């Protein structure tokens, strides 16, 4: 099988790049990583939520070019079906796609007020009411999925939904969001995955800072 390339932006700030990278790693598809500089216009637009059309991450493989994270997930599920990115059960697949679609298109206040920043930690961070509503909805999603599947991942085995919600776990840690024990255990497990440890270690070596994301609100 032809080796893929995955173009990503900042590992410290980019939630979408983290999702695309985790999905590709979870799939087992071999790929080369291409990292765009944070001052590249496309990368900056993605990180700062300034564009309605995000072109990173971008997966190129066997003649295909895929730049939407959900499209990357579906492509990888087709290409690497044994990876189990989506649940085997039809009803669970539908549920997985629904919650992945929700994180893909929703929670805009959470994104804006608690941006991903893996090198930072803001204890006792003041969370806006609207952002708290987003947090409560995410907690409800996690709670329901874990109750249905029995864990340890959202649909039992590690897959698409865990990759899509992984940046949320980083936000909860960065901004000191308090979670009930079951949900904290899930978030801690996500943060402790070897892939996450690798990503975070690389993020901490990035010298660049984006001033707009270094403000303590």
pLDDT at 197 over 60: yes
How far, CA to CA in Å, does 169 sit from each of 91, 114, 122, 179?
25, 11, 14, 11
Question: CATH: 3.20.20.70, 3.30.9.10, 2.40.160.10, 1.20.1050.10. Which one for 90-200?
Answer: 1.20.1050.10
Using the predicted structure, report yes or no on whether residue 163 has a pLDDT greater than 50: yes
User: Please, which residues bridge with residue 34 across strands?
Assistant: 7
User: What is the mean pLDDT of the segment spanning 7-13?
Assistant: 92
Percent of the chain with pLDDT over 70: 87
Contact 20, 59 (CB under 8 A): yes
Evaluate if residue 113 carries a pLDDT over 90.
yes
Mean pLDDT of the chain: 91
Kindly indicate whether the domain formed by 4-83 is annotated with CATH number 1.10.1040.10.
no
**Sequence spans of domains, the chain:** 4-83, 90-200
The answer to whether residues 23 and 160 touch, using CB atoms and an 8 Å cutoff, is yes
């Amino acid at each position: 099988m032809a080796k893929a390339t995955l173009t990503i932006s900042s590992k410290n700030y980019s939630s979408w790049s983290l999702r695309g990278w985790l999905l590709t790693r979870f799939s087992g598809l071999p790929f080369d990583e291409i990292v765009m500089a944070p001052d590249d216009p496309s990368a900056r637009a993605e990180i700062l939520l300034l564009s309605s059309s995000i072109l990173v991450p971008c997966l190129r493989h066997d003649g295909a070019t895929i730049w939407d994270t959900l499209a990357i997930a579906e492509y990888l599920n087709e290409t690497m079906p044994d990876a189990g990115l989506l649940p085997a059960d039809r009803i669970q697949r539908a549920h997985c796609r629904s919650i992945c679609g929700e994180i893909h298109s929703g929670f805009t206040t959470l994104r804006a007020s608690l941006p991903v920043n893996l090198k930072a930690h803001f204890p006792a961070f003041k969370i806006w009411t609207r952002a708290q509503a987003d947090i409560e909805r995410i907690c409800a999603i996690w709670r329901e999925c874990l109750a249905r599947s029995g864990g340890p991942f959202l649909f039992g085995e590690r897959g698409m939904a865990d990759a899509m919600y992984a940046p949320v776990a980083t936000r909860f840690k960065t901004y000191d969001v308090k979670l009930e024990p079951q949900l904290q255990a899930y978030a801690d497990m996500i943060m402790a995955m070897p892939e996450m440890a690798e990503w975070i270690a690389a993020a901490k070596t990035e010298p660049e800072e984006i001033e707009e994301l270094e403000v303590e609100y």
